[in-house]
Structures are given as structure tokens and as C-alpha cells.
A and B are shown apart, each in its own frame.
Chain A
Amino acid sequence: MRQTAGTLNRTWLTILGIIVLAAGIGLLLQASGQLHSLANTAPSSERVVTGDLHAVTSPQWVVVVILIAGIIVGVLGLLWMLAQVPRKNAADTYRLHDDGAQGFTVCDPSVLATAVENQVNTLPGVVTSSALLRGTATDPDLTLKVTVNDRTDVQDLIHRIQTSTLPDLSNALETPLQKSRLQIDVSGRTQGTGTVVHSTGTVLQ
């Protein structure tokens, strides 16, 4: 149900990997003495810095630049760590009006999620369910977690969700669902709400 920073991690790890790989190749070439012939740099035995290093670091602006660069790297690292916290990223209020001049029509996504949950809970074998809507009213995105009893016919349940729950939600929003994810969990508990049986008896007048 919660979203993690998978893409961000992959991107940054790729960037850092390429940098470290390039540095490693450079060090290997330098150590083996081939960097001198390839890039026309100083050979490994020669001293590059001849004078006193203190003269380079003594100006005030060098310290300030290093300090700012350090703070930027630190903040980026901290933001990356904070991005690891799994988030729900639930949608904001769905706006269902086309033109605000006539008045606004709003619906909280949790209202729709509750309606979906109530509907799924009446399906045979469902112990509990939880729905989460993301996206916008025109591009809705449903994540549904259904906990079923261990004797439930899962294929039948999936079929029922695909033929009744999802079309009902897209009918209510009058737009097809952009994405729908279904997670099925199995539990030893029995269905709490009782199975809804449609009446087939004769109505007495």
C-alpha cells in the first residue's frame, strides 16, 4: 500500500556507481603507470605539489566554499535518507466539476475508498479490505488490499473484483482507472460481516 523511493534510489546509486567506477579506473591506471601515457599527466613517481599547501587553503573564501559545499552534500544526503520513509501518497480531494462558475463539486478520495471497501467486504470469503486512491479525479489510481479466508476461491474473487468493483468505481468517477493494484493476503480468520446472499424467494403480496 505504501510507496518507497525505489526510482530515486536506483537513479542516485547509478550516478554514484559511475563516479566511483571512473575514480577506480583512474586510480588503477595511475597505479599501473598507464595514465601518464594515456592522458599526458605527471608520472606516478613525480611530486605534483611542490610548494606549501597552506598557501592554497589560507584565503578566507576557500574555507567558505568548502563549508557551503559540505553543507549542500550533507543536506542532499539527509533528504535522500528522509525519502526512504515509506509514504501513502494518498490523493488530494477529487474535484469533480468542469467549470467552477456554477459551483464546486468535491469528493474526498477516502469517501470513495470506503465505498469500495464496503463493496469488497461483501464478496464471498473476504475478511477485510483496505482501499487507497491516488492520482486525480480524471486519472484515478486504485490500490486495493484484500485479506481473504484460507478457503476462498481466489480466482473467483479476482474475477468478481474485475467485473464488479473496478467498473463500479470507474462508473462513479466517469473515467477509466489509470492503474489498479490488487494485493491479496490470506488469513485464518473467518468473514466477519457474513456472506451477502441475494434473495431468491417469492414475494408474497
Chain B
Amino acid sequence: MNRQGAHQLPPTAAEDAASGSYGGGDDDIGSRGHTVLANRVIEKIAGQVANDESSAGGSSGGFLGIGAHADLSARPKASVELNGNIATVSVEVGLLYPVPLRRATEDLRQRIRGRVTELTGVEVRQVDIKVAWLTSEGAAPGRRRLL
């Protein structure tokens, strides 16, 4: 049922209520099928949250990792380790320089934890953050404003 590298969503309180209203009861939750979430889904959500809701960026371009350049608009690389319903997320981000790194990464950690739990139901216990590059605002590539 629970394949390796995938996570089965637990039935939430809302689902329980819904199953009750449809007359199914608790016994036949399994008969309605399972929702299986691949690790990559959580990885992408974590990366997207990091990119959307903070100034963290990833790297883009290049071939097989060679020639990739720092890009604040790219999605940071994230990896997830799942143990049952508990996830450990590692993200590799680039930040603007000079932001206070401790504060920025703590904000990012709280956002990733909150949003991933909210969107997938998986409890994120630890978020490891590696600051892979720093870029100054003046040299931020790829963000040109059309006047």
C-alpha cells in the first residue's frame, strides 16, 4: 500500500465527517481508494513555497548541472525524507546579500513547515537549509523591469 518513496495521506477529520455523511462509516474508508503522494510532490511544494513566499532562489540553466547560474526566480532544489507521516525537508537556497541570514532562513523554515503541512497533511519536523549562494540586489540577474 505504502510504496517506498511515497506517502499515503491519512484520513483527516473532514474526510471522516464526509464518509459519515455518505453513510460509509469508518470501516469502509479503505474501499474508497488511497491517495498516494510521491516524495517529489512534497519536494516541489517545498521548493515552490521557498521561491514564492520568500526571496530565496535556486539555479537555472546549464547542462547536467554544469554551467548553471544563480537565479532568484528559479525554484530552489529541495529533497524530502519521509518517515511515515513525518517529513524532513532539505532545501538549498540562494538569498539576497546582505539580508540577515539567520532571520531570513528562520522565516523560510517556518513558511515551508506551515505551508507543506497545510497543503499535504504531512508533518514537517525539520527543515535543513543550506545557503548555496548570495547575490546582491544590483547584480540580480533576469529581473528587468519594463518601464
Contact = CB atoms under 8 A, between A and B. Distances in A.
Tell whether A and B belong to one assembly. Answer: yes
Given A107-B101, A174-B101, A204 B147 contact: yes
A104 B128 contact: yes
Interface in A85-122: 96-98, 101-108, 111-112, 114-115, 118-119, 122
Contacts of A172: 97-101, 134
A196 interface: yes
B136 A103 contact: no
Interface residues on A, range: 20 to 34
B135 interface: yes
Interface residues of B, number: 26
A98 B109 CA distance: 13
B126 A103 contact: yes
Contacts of A102: 109, 126-127
B133 A111 contact: yes
B98 A114 contact: no
A96 B101 contact: yes
Contacts of B89: 103
Task: Report which residue of A107, A112, A168, A174 has the largest number of chain B beta carbons within 10 angstroms of its beta carbon.
Answer: A107
A64 interface: no
Nearest to A113: B134
B6 interface: no
A119 B126 contact: no
A184 interface: no
Given A111-B134, A114-B134, A196-B138, A96 B126 contact: no
Contacts of B133: 111, 114
B112 to A, nearest CB: 9
Interface in B90-147: 97-103, 105-106, 109, 126-136, 138-139, 147
A180 interface: no
Contacts of B136: 115, 118-119
B21 to A, nearest CB: 39
Contacts of B102: 96-98, 105, 174
B131 A107 contact: yes
A82 interface: no
Interface of A: 96-98, 101-108, 111-112, 114-115, 118-119, 122, 168-169, 171-174, 196, 203-205
Interface of B: 88-89, 97-103, 105-106, 109, 126-136, 138-139, 147
8 contacts: A103-B88, A103-B128, A107-B130, A107-B131, A111-B133, A114-B134, A119-B136, A171-B100
